[in-house]
Structure 1
Amino acid sequence: MQPHRLFGCLLVLGSLLLAASADSSPIVGVLAQEVYSDGLISHHFENKTSYIAASYVKYLESAGARVVPIWIGRNRSYYEDLMHKINGVLLPGGATWFNQTDGYADAGEHLLQLAVQLNDNGTFMPVWGTCLGMELLVYKLANGTDHRINCRGTGMALPMELKEDYKQSRLFNASNEAVVALMVKENVTYHWHQFCYTEADFARDQLNKSWRVVSVNSDLDGIEFISAMEHIKYPFYGVQFHPEKPLFEFVKPSIPHSPAAVLSGQYFADFFVNEARRSPQSFANATEEARALIYNYKPEYTSILGSTYIQQYLFTDKEMQLEETGFEGGDDGDDEPSYYPPGHVYGDGNGAAAMLSLGTGPLLAPLAIRLFSIDF
């Protein structure tokens, strides 16, 4: 069967399956990240201090979810309140420092600590990390130790190189063989990253006791790196590539938009949103929910200005409620209780790299130069 015909048949089948499932539209929080004063956005828009690429919102909506923006720079109580109302978290790719105070990484730490706490207490809370988001997942859950290496992974469209036991993963245990056949044959995943993780590093630092490697790829220099993974205990997933770009980003000519690439991207969107459907949480009422949704904001057409994103949601401090409260980061000092269970270890690992942080302060690596990423 031709790929475009298979694509059409699978879309119809997917629609029927979703219609037969529970009528559920989960709400997924997408983490914003900081805008820098010397960047493109600051040159064209006044007072915009954070952003979310619109492709992540469209990506989740394409699978039936709605989106709430998660602000940076807020205090612990903000993240704790929100994490008891949404059904999942997406950590997007982008360009930021992991040790930027009150930014993407600090907010991500709060979210991951709370996701662990919720899952341990019996409330299902999935987390998805794309590119930089996957890197942040590993970094924060490895006690703030940076295990990345430099690699040349910019502008690559690649097939998936699935591990032999990929069917044992949650990510693929219910996958359609025809879809997988396209994923491993055609250039369906788009990579744009300067850092990566390797299986050798995971084995050396015992991260393989916490994470299951689902697929690998090789960069432009032939270095093999982890391209998809999932946590062994928690519903946390990471991909080094960008499943949203074949569907919704059209600036770079190297991004694949073939039927197979679109189908592959949609597969991951459907998977994660179905995970979010398992979360029972909700907002207190329809008014509170409506005020939180991203529909309260409009995306800007930024690729026409030179951005790599077609559209972006841009936010001011006032919209993030920072002007009224002050820049709220830093209420998680040493006198706060731990939000990780004492002595809690991920998976079956006993190594230091597998141990979760026992405090709630920022986990900062000593060398800032290693922490910046332009993994769009």
Structure 2
Amino acid sequence: METNYCIPFFTILIQLMSTVNSQLNCPATDPAINYRPVIGIVSHPGDGASGRLNSSSDVSYIAASYVKFAEMGGARVIPIIYTDPPEIINQKLNLVNGIIFTGGRTKKGPYFEVVKGIFEKVLEKNDAGEHFPLLAICLGFELITMIISKDNNILEEFSASHQASTVQFVENIKLEGTVFGRFPPALLEKMTTHCLVMQNHRFGISPEGLQANKDLCSFFRILTTSVDKENKVYVSSMQAQRYPVTALQWHPEKAVFEWGSSQIPHTEDAIQVTQNVANYFVSEARKSPNKPATNKLLDNLIYNYSPSYAGKVRGSFEEVYLFTPRPTLSSL
């Protein structure tokens, strides 16, 4: 007769595991933290592929890399479609815990006015006591510079298209509480000597230009500068002094999710920079107490849309979400 020695062993193992599990005390979650944050990302005019995906004059897009960037920090995304009626945009702002202004080109017209209105709402929410962060990337950096300065001609020209670069931290700057506050010291050091961030812009602002505008210098503090191809220095990172508003002239999302340019850094260090920025921004969104009804969220999440493969048609991005004015999916 064959004896099965495995049965007693597994019986003892299961009993042991049950005893261990009964002794575990998992700490309670912090009720002040929102563990299910949602980020609103504002769409940009065009299709992200020079009309090769959709040439309609009223189409807008969000590069999928921005969506994935928010998701890698632990958040979900609702698209804020800039062509939607103002009441829909305002209702969507009440569903999210933070906003991303993306890169792009458009600096005027309806898009500028929508971004300006959303920026004002961000400040209003914070002034009313709701922690509501904003991350402005590249064009977003430029737009809020124009908005805060009240000068649509304040931007200067730089030669920083398709350029990986270092960043130089302002001397004696305190990084605690900023986007760089939780970066490992070794990674911060590498950012000053290795080209770990992707720049892709023709406009920006010099440290002197920022300091010369009283509205800008009272709103922001400069964290880092960078140098363009002609050795001109520009502000590459800045943080609001009173609000959870971070502005990056560089693109943290590209290192992980975009492959169209050979200049995009894809090293492990560059990936860590992206991850740390995503972690920071979403951690700020977790401070938002806003927890709308689940059905409202589900009807408006980015999952209701499918991305298009733009890289295959030589678009600026690997994937984009396209939006055209139509009856909204929302049940707002």
TM-score range, shorter chain: 0.7 to 0.9
Judged with a 3 Å threshold, the aligned counterparts in structure 2 of structure 1 residues 179 and 43 are, in CA distance, closer, same or farther, namely closer
Q: In the TM superposition, what are the counterparts of 1:8-157 in structure 2 within 5 Å?
A: 24-35=35-46, 40=49, 42-45=51-54, 47=56, 49-96=59-106, 98-100=107-109, 102-103=110-111, 105-157=112-164
The alpha-carbon deviation at position 80 of structure 1 amounts to 2.6
Deviations 1:208-243 (A, max 9, x none): 222100000111111100000011111111011101
Any unmatched runs of 5+ in structure 2?
A: 1-27
Judged with a 3 Å threshold, the aligned counterparts in structure 2 of structure 1 residues 82 and 186 are, in CA distance, closer, same or farther, namely same
Judged with a 3 Å threshold, the aligned counterparts in structure 2 of structure 1 residues 90 and 76 are, in CA distance, closer, same or farther, namely same
Q: In the TM superposition, what are the counterparts of 1:173-252 in structure 2 within 5 Å?
A: 173-206=181-214, 207-252=216-261
2:291 maps to 1:298: no
Preserved CA contact (<8 Å) 2:53 2:310: no
Distance 2:49 2:248 in 1: 27
Deviations 1:299-337 (A, max 9, x none): 011111011200000112116579xxxxxxxxxxxxxxx
The alpha-carbon deviation at position 177 of structure 1 amounts to 1.3
Aligned length: 298
Give the AA of the match of 2:45: E
RMSD: 2.2
Preserved CA contact (<8 Å) 1:154 1:191: yes
Preserved CA contact (<8 Å) 2:160 2:200: yes
Distance 1:314 1:61 in 2: 19
The alpha-carbon deviation at position 34 of structure 1 amounts to 1.0
Distance 1:42 1:33 in 2: 13
Distance 1:189 1:166 in 2: 20
Distance 2:229 2:51 in 1: 33
Distance 1:112 1:169 in 2: 24
Give the AA of the match of 2:181: N
Preserved CA contact (<8 Å) 2:255 2:264: yes
Judged with a 3 Å threshold, the aligned counterparts in structure 2 of structure 1 residues 115 and 266 are, in CA distance, closer, same or farther, namely same
Distance 1:148 1:320 in 2: 36
Distance 2:194 2:327 in 1: 42
Residues 153-162 or 235-244, more deviating: 153-162
Distance 1:249 1:44 in 2: 18
Distance 1:20 1:212 in 2: 34
The alpha-carbon deviation at position 281 of structure 1 amounts to 0.7
Distance 1:116 1:182 in 2: 34
- List structure 1 segments (4+ residues) > 3 angstroms apart after TM superposition: 19-23, 39-48, 319-322
2:178 maps to 1:167: no
Aligned-pair identity (%)? 27
Query: Which of residues 273, 297, 307 in structure 2 aligns to 1:289?
Result: 297
Any unmatched runs of 5+ in structure 1?
A: 1-18, 323-376
Give the AA of the match of 2:289: P
TM-score with structure 2 setting the length: 0.84
